Amino acid sequence: MDTELLKTFLEVQKTRHFGKAAENLYLTQSAVSFRVRQLEQSLGVTLFSRFRNNIQLTAAGELLLPHAQAVLTAISAAKQQLNQQYQLQSHRKVLMPAEFAVLLPPKQLSLLFAPQQCWQVHTQSGTYHNVNGSDFDLVIQLGEKPQQLAPLQARCLGYLCWWPVSVNDAVNLQAECSVQHLTLPRLTTAPLSFASTDVRLLWQWLQQNKGCGYLPAPLVQAAVEQGKLHKLSAAPYLQPVWVYHQANDVVAEHWQQTLQSCGVLQAPV
């Protein structure tokens, strides 16, 4: 889910008018309509009731609203904190999946970025499209070993552990959530009930529907230890996390050591 889709959703909700939202976003009205349809298709729900001069949120839209605001606020706060804390002589750019960025609390962020350099953090949900390796110093990618992104080189940072969890001991076979764009094992044979690239939104859905699904261990470990979530008997899923980096760049090695020592990633086997 591209964060631009969430921005468009919030602007339409604010103006209650596709034309006005398009003007505020410097887009065409058809582009705004297309983005809203993309978001609705990715979530599998209708977000707006469309009547002439009367656009209202549906129940699903009302449910999504606070989550969309929270996601954009969190990303904006992270960028602002980094820009304020790291006033550097040289600018370096890193691109990472938004679903991975939410797993990095401020303490981990401060350890990753050296104060001697100025970092610009860019986030994007889902699969990267048309990314130019020369535009970034680091590019983080989830999944199998990526294709070459010249002039950068690929290095495995470690493995992100996904735990099979449920709200109750008894799994609701009719309610399973899944992360879009990622090939994770299934826990049930029932049709998927909900899919999203936002892992925090998946957690909210899982709690409300008393369902099951794979969620990142760094996100849910505290809840499991407190008994709010239950680990299921299925095997955890280890997903490799890769970084594209410049040749002989010590930052990639620093990220690898830091993310593993903080427990965000496990060491490669």
Domain-terminating residue out of 20, 36, 68: 68
Q: Is the pLDDT of residue 185 over 60?
A: yes
Domain assignment of residue 231, given as a range = 89-269
54 and 184 both lie in a single domain: no
- Tell me if 79 is assigned to some domain: no
Q: Is the pLDDT of residue 18 over 80?
A: yes
Query: Which run of H or E residues covers position 153?
Result: strand 153-166
Q: Is the pLDDT of residue 90 over 70?
A: no
CATH number at residue 25: 1.10.10.10
pLDDT at 182: 74
Among 40-49, 77-86, 152-161, the range scoring the smallest mean pLDDT is 77-86
249 and 130 both lie in a single domain: yes
- Tell me if 215 is assigned to some domain: yes
64 and 172 both lie in a single domain: no
The SS3 call for residue 23 is helix
pLDDT at 164: 92
CATH number at residue 126: 3.40.190.290
Q: In terms of pTM, does the model score above 0.95?
A: no
- Tell me if 77 is assigned to some domain: no
- Tell me if 83 is assigned to some domain: no
pLDDT at 170: 59
- Tell me if 74 is assigned to some domain: no
116 and 202 both lie in a single domain: yes
132 and 250 both lie in a single domain: yes
Percent of the chain residues topping a pLDDT of 90: 21
Pull the structure tokens for residue 206: 């899982």
150 and 269 both lie in a single domain: yes
Average pLDDT over residues 118-143: 79
- Tell me if 76 is assigned to some domain: no
pLDDT at 36: 92
**Which is nearest to 124 in space by CA: 248, 7, 261, 254?**
7
- Tell me if 73 is assigned to some domain: no
Q: Residue with structure tokens 């290095």?
A: 155
For 240-257, the pLDDT digits (tens) are 999 988 887 788 888 899
- The burial class, CB within 10 Å (0-12 / 13-18 / 19+), for 98 is buried
Question: CA 33 to CA 11: how far, in whole Å?
Answer: 12
Q: Is the pLDDT of residue 89 over 50?
A: no
Average pLDDT over residues 47-64: 87
Q: Is the pLDDT of residue 162 over 70?
A: yes
131 and 245 both lie in a single domain: yes
63 and 94 both lie in a single domain: no
